[in-house]
Amino acid sequence: MPLLIALSGWRGQSGVVRGQPALRAFLLGLITGVAYFVGTVYWTGAVLSEFGGLPRPLAIVAMLLLALYLAIYPAIFAVLFARLVARAGAPALLLAPPVWVATEFLRGYVFGGFPWVPLGNSQVTVLPVVQIASLFGVYGVSLVVAFVNAAIAFALLESGRARITVVVSVAGLLIAVAGWGTWRIADGSLTREGTPIRVGLIQGNVAQEDKLNLTPQIARRILTTYIAMTRDAVRRGAEYVIWPESSTPFGFDESAIGQQALRDLAREVRVPLLVGSDHLEMGPPPVQYNSAFQLSPNGETAAIYNKMHLVPFGEFIPLQQWISFVAPLVKRFLPFSEGKSSVMLPVGSHRASTSICYEVVFPALVRDAVNMGSELLTTITNDGWYGHSSAPYQHFELASMRAIEQGRYLARAANTGISGVVDPYGRVVARSGIFEQVGMVEEVRFLSTRTLYARIGDVVSYASMIITLVALVAVRKRAA
């Protein structure tokens, strides 16, 4: 809201709200964006320094460059919005929501996309409001949040009947949204439908230093820990056990002994087992994936999912030829290849899907899996890179939004936390702390009903882009 007021400029002698010049608007948007993203992705600097081998000053520079790149999208919003205000005055404030959503949506796609902490995710714990994500996705929530802020800015800049009309309208919208959301949660039909199953989530709490400096003794300890925790979870009633991302201290295809131990474990406990591990496909040339292997109760490989959205600077180096200062990081991490498509994971007669780490922040990817038939969302991750920063908490809340959007239970296994279960309304059924070793056994349900968002996708985002283009054309013709 302060950005909207700043971009609206001031009232001249004619009493008309004037927009800021393009360069000033760009700088205002850029400054706002840098503050927003430095405050949310600050932890990338520590990751690059501690695990990437970059000197701390260079790691800070890299973090600032990432924040600066992400800030370009609020800056573009600022230029477009200021242009609309310059031509249409204060009423253009009501066009701020679609312009914001259009630029925010593009951030999730350009150069592979980085849809971290969209505006709508700020409401993920405000359960009555966030239920509209089941209709229009997280960008629909962003639209509502932006509209409320635009209405407040309009009320501060305008007076008379127009101000009253906008205030009453936004109050009515909030009452309708919260009222419907409260009803949806109270109805709770999705917690009674479908087939229940008890899921075991294994949080091994393996230190990242141990993963990076493996010895035979450390590898043996990691594997025996996961095996023992799996047996305990099954004894407590788990019917489907999930290990975190890269949980095996070996590549699944590269250790016959380790692979056999996992197959023997699945046959022993007689439940499906989902395990995160590297996957090497031999060929000219060999290709490496960050993968999830589903083992059936008889120990056979039932499915392999290869991660589709890789982490920039963690699993691949974007624009590597132009940023030579990250050479230590390039040497530290082997590049992974992208998987080609979602894969269904058979669990008895039902089907589940998984997202590996960061790719759970992509709404369309999870929606595609549901439309392929996924009845249960799972996500496996290793957030040990992020230490005690806010990143594991941000990541958990970003994953929680997918449960609401798709009307599915979401089960999450994380190496160092946060592991947990989120119900189809975004309520946290159970969650672990960070940096604790715990095996959780919780009930979830296989569900087949699809939400409106699962059916229509990001219609709100596409409509926002169209509205933005039409508005820009209209004010240009008006000026001519």
- In 3D space, the residue among 197, 262, 195, 276 whose CA is nearest the CA of residue 231 turns out to be 262
Rg of the chain taking only CA atoms, in angstroms? 24
**In the predicted model, what is the mean pLDDT of residues 252-276?**
95
Domain boundaries defined on the chain: 2-188+459-479, 194-448
Is there a contact between 78 and 31 (Cβ–Cβ < 8 Å)? no
pLDDT for the residue 399: 98
Burial readout 156-180 (b: 16 or more C-beta within 10 A, e: otherwise):
ebbeeeebeebeeebeeebeebbee
Backbone dihedral region for residue 117 (phi beyond 0: left; psi -120 to 50: alpha; all else: beta): left
Please name every residue paired with 431 in a beta bridge, in sequence order, or none if there are none. 420
Type of residue numbered 434: I
Is there a contact between 200 and 233 (Cβ–Cβ < 8 Å)? yes
The helix or strand, by DSSP H or E, that contains position 123, with its residue range, turns out to be none
Task: In whole angstroms, give the CA distance from residue 343 to residue 365.
Answer: 11
Active-site positions read: 245, 307, 357
Task: In whole angstroms, give the CA distance from residue 480 to residue 182.
Answer: 48
Type of residue numbered 274: L
pLDDT for the residue 316: 60
In order, the DSSP letters of 84-109 are HHHHH-GGGGGGHHHHHHHHHHHHTT
Task: In whole angstroms, give the CA distance from residue 415 to residue 186.
Answer: 34
The helix or strand, by DSSP H or E, that contains position 412, with its residue range, turns out to be strand 410-414
**In the predicted model, what is the mean pLDDT of residues 184-203?**
97
Instruction: State the average pLDDT for the chain.
Output: 91
Instruction: Name the pLDDT band for 13 (thresholds 50, 70, 90).
Output: very low
CA 378: distance to chain centroid? 13
Q: Is the dihedral of CA 168, 169, 170, 173 positive or negative?
A: positive
Residue entry with tokens 């590549």 = 251
**In the predicted model, what is the mean pLDDT of residues 25-52?**
91
Q: Where are the alpha helices (DSSP H) in 318-420?
A: 327-332, 363-371, 391-406
**In the predicted model, what is the mean pLDDT of residues 348-362?**
96
pLDDT for the residue 478: 65
pLDDT for the residue 28: 94
Domain 194-448 homologous superfamily, CATH: Carbon-nitrogen hydrolase (3.60.110.10)
pLDDT for the residue 12: 46
